[in-house]
Amino acid sequence: MELLERFAAGDLDAFESLFRQYQGEVYRWVMRIVRDPSVAEDLTVEAFWRAHKAHAGFHPEANFAAWLRRIATNLALDHLRKRRPYVELPDDLAAERKADSVVQQQTRAVLRKAFAELPPRLRIVAQLGLVEDESYAEIAQALGISAGVARTRMFRAVRLLRKKLRRLGVHA
Amino acid sequence: MNKPMRDGMNDNMKDGLSADEFATMREELRDAMPPLDELGHGAELRRDLWPDMRRRLERPQVGVPWFDWALLAVSGAAAIFFPALIPALLYHL
């Protein structure tokens, strides 16, 4: 019996094989969204836990990685919704890479703050598309929406971000 | 920039946001929040998560059985549609 068939039948060894095969990929994807290693680890485990619980509903012919990515994306989106509106990124991820002026550093901080205040469903699209350079097709598949909706959300995110930045006195 | 993002820029131009404005915002965002791939170690899993997964699998499940929810729903419906039953229900509790 194939690995995915055994997983769908509830075989724990098959689940462990899939976990070991895909844990890095799921973690990297979630990290792109939440940018916090400990949260990404927790959400990775939670995504696999949900996949395990839903094993009976999984069709072995389906794309396991895409299914898992969608579960993980929904969890990451829930996390963004529950988190405080603005949380500064961990030091190593938000670190200033160059020896910049104070003004430039402040501008970056304002931009990060404005970005963190975007509605989560817009922010996740802008984060994956603009920052991480994922394609609309990838984003749409992960969120379970059409590429057209992903494009619309991207546009709305950029427009809203520009408006927020203007209000905060940053030209963008 | 990958092709899908360029396509997105064209669409945004139709919606009143120019390609330059879109590209500027993208650059500024990437400057403020570097993509994880540029940070090297940042996006890589640093340890095996299987032990965490095992603990999660072994954790006892606390949940209300479906029958209890059904009973609660029936009681609630009865209380709404037959309020005269409430004293009798309270008497039997």
pLDDT, one tens digit per residue, over A119-155 is: 999 999 999 999 999 999 999 999 999 999 999 999 9
Whole-angstrom distance, CA of residue A109 vs CA of residue A163: 16
pLDDT in tens, A6-24: 999 999 999 999 999 999 9
Nearest to B43 among A12, A32, A109 (CB): A32
Of A109, A137, A159, the CB nearest to B4: A137
pLDDT at residue A78 above 90? yes
Residue A37 has pLDDT above 50, yes or no: yes
The whole-number average pLDDT for the span A92-97 is 52
Question: How does pLDDT run along chain B (93 residues), one tens digit per residue?
Answer: 454 554 444 454 445 567 787 888 889 889 888 888 877 666 789 899 999 999 999 987 767 778 888 888 988 888 888 888 888 878 877
Long-range contacts of A20-25 (CB under 8 A, 24+ apart): A20/B48, A20/B50, A22/A48, A22/A64, A22/A65, A22/A68, A23/A48, A23/B45, A23/B48, A23/B49, A23/B50, A24/B44, A24/B45, A25/A65, A25/A69
Substitution target in A55, A89, A133, A170 with the highest count of B β-carbons within 10 Å is A133
Q: What was the pLDDT predicted at A108?
A: 86
pTM of the predicted protein model: 0.77
Statement: residue A87 has pLDDT above 60: no
When the pLDDT of each residue in chain A is averaged and rounded to a whole number, the result is 88
Residue, of A111 and B40, whose pLDDT is higher = A111
What is the chain B residue with the closest CA to A150?
B8
Between chains, do B43 and A31 touch, taking CB under 8 Å as contact? yes
Structural domains of chain A, ranges and CATH numbers in brackets:
3-82 (1.10.1740.10), 91-167 (1.10.10.10)
